Chains A and B, each alone.
Chain A
Amino acid sequence: MARDGVTVLLAGDTSTNAMTIAHDVVPHRFARHRCAVQTRPEQGNDVAQTHGLDLGWTKARTVAPQLRLGVGEAHAHHGEVLQGVFYRDDGRRSRALVTLPFPSRGSRAVFRAGAGESGTVTVDGEEFAKVRRAAELTLRALPGAPAGGHVEITSDVPRGLGLGSSTSDVTATIRAVADCLGAAPTAEEVARLAALAEGACDPIMIEDRVVLFAHREGTVLETLGPRLPPMIVVGCDTDPGGAVDTLEHPPARYNDWEIGAFVVLRTVLRRAITAWDVPLLGKVTTVSAQINQRFLPKPDLDFLLAVCREEGGCGVQVAHSGTVAGVIFDPSRRGTVDAVARCVRRIEDHGLPTTNVIGADLLPKGLDAGVS
């Protein structure tokens, strides 16, 4: 079984350029990409061994290769709750983050085993390199995996805004490949593969708890709690027309005071999650957003902070490698429906397109008037 050395080819419909939806925040427009994965046995090394991965989850089904098909899905995120440098248990430090899930957007991957289909072309777009690599890595980590196959990605996650479009593609791909082979990787295994494929990834694959996640290593530093408190986030794009290239963006160089503050913020966040304390959580996101101003400033952060203050919001969160930001509201507070509606209007009047109102389902009916 030749699992090593994979070249990837793109097949089928290439007319839909991923970038055309980059700043389209209208729902229900999907980008569709397809790429094929084909092994070349003479190349490469065993990634699973190289990176110390022990993927004991393989139970390949015996299905005729041409019939194998797997499906995987992954949702987007809306930037970060907290991002910085944090101490690990061994005293060393890691860059890590806590993601704000954005479950209404996502990617879906379909993987078809088998390679060398007719009409295949080589991929040169950066966009697919990570997906291809994710498929390769997953195949290599699975004993008994087929030579290669097709990956088809469907996504409604806008690119370059810091919504985790790339990680949702990659995670969906890993899940699709695993599904195709009847394997059930744990969330941590998917995370390690995604981090390897991308160089850094967001913890969207860990869906059953809130984690402080070392995004470069793809490992969990700490489980902060079972879930974030119910909250409403009015999301917007702070730089319409601009986009951040995650790979090009230099890593933040935090000073010693900031690293000390992260120690405190982590503890406050743990408390906010345990107690379902949205105002406390909002303090954490706000400080994190303010620290980020030194590295990837949001020109309208002061405006958003003012709106938050005046409309009774709890705080502002941002994408630390993107352009989206969100104003956080506590759904249990009286008058939140009206406050959210006013917040949406003010943000749009300011010229910033809103991305979504995350958690709008927590509010009683009547918000529709405010959110177009």
Chain B
Amino acid sequence: MGSRAFYEDATEAYQLPRVVRLAPNLFAVCFTLMKMIPARYILRRALREGLLAPGTIIVETTSGTFGLALAMQAAQLDRRLILVSDPAIDDRLHRRLTDLGAVVERLAQQAAVGGYQAARLNRLAEIRRELPATFCPEQYSNPDNPRSYAVVAELLVEALGQVDCVVGPIGSGGSTGGTTTFLRSVSPDCRAIGVDTHFSVSFGHPDGQRGLRGLGNSLMPPSMDHRVFDGVHWCTAAEAYRATRHLHRRHALFMGPTSGASYLVGRWWAQKHPDALTVVLMPDEGYRYLDTVYDDEWLAAQGYGATVLPDEPLTVSDPTRPGSRWTAYDWGKRSYTEVMASARDDLVELR
């Protein structure tokens, strides 16, 4: 694309990140709202293919920024939007969503299996049955989610040339997986490192209570391609928050806690591989977390006050056991099934 004087609309303006150097070989890829990329790609495609006629209602389950991206799109496209969320959705986001015209349904009850994520999916199915015409972007199973990240790979190639390693937080796996896959079309050796949190099922942990919001899954995202990933790291909430503040204090980058977790991992990786150009995907900004991550009293009250950031992760050989500190596992571009099978074999050998 040539140089541009203005953006056609706010959603276009919001989608592309700033690339900021943090160290000679380390770059932050700072998004205002990263989820705008898949939201915009999926809705524009739906429009093109006639799946989003004027009376069609967009429905989705989300408690995070994907909902915000959809609400911005829906406002612009003049479509109604229903979001099914859990109580974790914060008031600021809720106010913004409803101001954009979205109907937000907050669920109070968790499902017996799969927690709020499963309950939300059940409720979503109910809503769709009741309405005549709906369109659901299905960010967790839609292959267009990872595919939408070609524009990020394009930007990175344009700004940096060769990228050797992509580090990013894992929700649906779309951003890190998609960006790396496109970068690998010209740089097949580009590495992908996923950043997850303990008690998230994405890379083998059992589901459980997670302190760190916006990261981790109770259900396995169907579209996730584990074979993209060279390595996976699990961070605690305390470490992620501490790293988020460090990123702000040291580099003046005001980002959310998933960005902080990725920064922790990316910084370590870049130091360990000084000849490799490393980028860290940072999905959102810090405003939503001013009363939490950016509030020392809140941190202290949660017991996160005295956290000291470790210099490096603890390398683990069993990806199925959650820990209580930053851990790392050599995933080796294997499928989930392969990794789980080898983990079981290792257990047998130990016995």
Q: Which residues of A contact B (CB under 8 A)?
A: 87, 89, 222, 256-257, 259-261, 263-268, 270-271, 280, 283-284, 287
Is B53 engaged at the interface, CB distance under 8 Å to the other chain?
no
Chain B residues within an 8 Å CB radius of A257: 147, 181
State which of B20-28, B98-106, B150-158 sits at the interface with chain A.
B150-158
Expressed in whole angstroms, the Cα–Cα distance for A264 and B178 within the complex equals 12
Expressed in whole angstroms, the Cα–Cα distance for A266 and B2 within the complex equals 12
Determine which of B143, B144, B147, B157 lies in contact with A267 in the assembled complex, contact meaning CB atoms within 8 Å.
Answer: B157
Are B153 and A264 within 8 A (Cβ)?
Answer: yes
Chain B residues within an 8 Å CB radius of A268: 157, 186
Query: Which parts of B248-270 form the interface with A (CB within 8 Å)?
Result: none
7 A–B pairs (Cβ distance < 8 Å), ordered by A: A222-B2, A257-B147, A263-B153, A264-B182, A267-B158, A283-B186, A287-B186
Are B150 and A263 within 8 A (Cβ)?
Answer: yes
Is B87 engaged at the interface, CB distance under 8 Å to the other chain?
no
Is B185 engaged at the interface, CB distance under 8 Å to the other chain?
yes
Chain B residues within an 8 Å CB radius of A280: 161, 186
Are B186 and A260 within 8 A (Cβ)?
Answer: no
Expressed in whole angstroms, the Cα–Cα distance for A87 and B153 within the complex equals 15
Are A89 and B147 within 8 A (Cβ)?
Answer: no
The 7 tightest CB contacts between A and B, nearest first, are: A260-B150, A261-B185, A263-B150, A267-B154, A264-B153, A283-B186, A267-B158
Chain A residues within an 8 Å CB radius of B185: 261, 264-265, 287
Expressed in whole angstroms, the Cα–Cα distance for A222 and B1 within the complex equals 8
Convert B139-169 into 0s and 1s, putting 1 for each residue whose CB lies closer than 8 angstroms to a CB of A. 0000110010111011001100100000000
Determine which of B2, B147, B186 lies in contact with A265 in the assembled complex, contact meaning CB atoms within 8 Å.
Answer: B186
Determine which of A89, A222, A260, A284 lies in contact with B182 in the assembled complex, contact meaning CB atoms within 8 Å.
Answer: A260
Expressed in whole angstroms, the Cα–Cα distance for A271 and B186 within the complex equals 13
Is B183 engaged at the interface, CB distance under 8 Å to the other chain?
yes
Convert B178-193 into 0s and 1s, putting 1 for each residue whose CB lies closer than 8 angstroms to a CB of A. 0001110111000000
Given contacts A260-B182, A287-B186, could you give 19 more A-B pairs where the C-beta distance is less than 8 Å? A87-B1, A89-B2, A222-B2, A259-B150, A260-B147, A260-B149, A261-B182, A261-B185, A263-B151, A263-B182, A264-B153, A264-B186, A265-B185, A266-B154, A267-B154, A268-B186, A270-B158, A283-B186, A287-B185
Determine which of A256, A266, A284 lies in contact with B144 in the assembled complex, contact meaning CB atoms within 8 Å.
Answer: A256
Chain B residues within an 8 Å CB radius of A284: 186
Expressed in whole angstroms, the Cα–Cα distance for A263 and B182 within the complex equals 9
Expressed in whole angstroms, the Cα–Cα distance for A229 and B183 within the complex equals 23
Distance between B153 CB and nearest chain A CB, rounded to angstroms: 5
Expressed in whole angstroms, the Cα–Cα distance for A270 and B1 within the complex equals 11
Q: Which residue of A lies closest to B153 (CB)?
A: A264
Expressed in whole angstroms, the Cα–Cα distance for A259 and B181 within the complex equals 13
Chain A residues within an 8 Å CB radius of B161: 271, 280
Expressed in whole angstroms, the Cα–Cα distance for A82 and B147 within the complex equals 21
Q: Which residue of A lies closest to B183 (CB)?
A: A264
Chain A residues within an 8 Å CB radius of B144: 256
- Contacts A89-B1, A264-B182: A271 and B147 contacting too (C-beta < 8 A)? no
Expressed in whole angstroms, the Cα–Cα distance for A111 and B135 within the complex equals 60
Expressed in whole angstroms, the Cα–Cα distance for A364 and B143 within the complex equals 51
Are B182 and A271 within 8 A (Cβ)?
Answer: no
Determine which of A256, A263, A283 lies in contact with B154 in the assembled complex, contact meaning CB atoms within 8 Å.
Answer: A263
Candidate in B144, B149, B157, B158 with the most chain A CB atoms within 10 angstroms: B157
Query: Which parts of B70-93 form the interface with A (CB within 8 Å)?
Result: none
Distance between B36 CB and nearest chain A CB, rounded to angstroms: 16
Chain A residues within an 8 Å CB radius of B183: 264
Chain B residues within an 8 Å CB radius of A89: 1-2
Expressed in whole angstroms, the Cα–Cα distance for A179 and B144 within the complex equals 51
Distance between A169 CB and nearest chain B CB, rounded to angstroms: 33
Expressed in whole angstroms, the Cα–Cα distance for A199 and B157 within the complex equals 34
Query: Which parts of B226-257 form the interface with A (CB within 8 Å)?
Result: none
Distance between B113 CB and nearest chain A CB, rounded to angstroms: 33
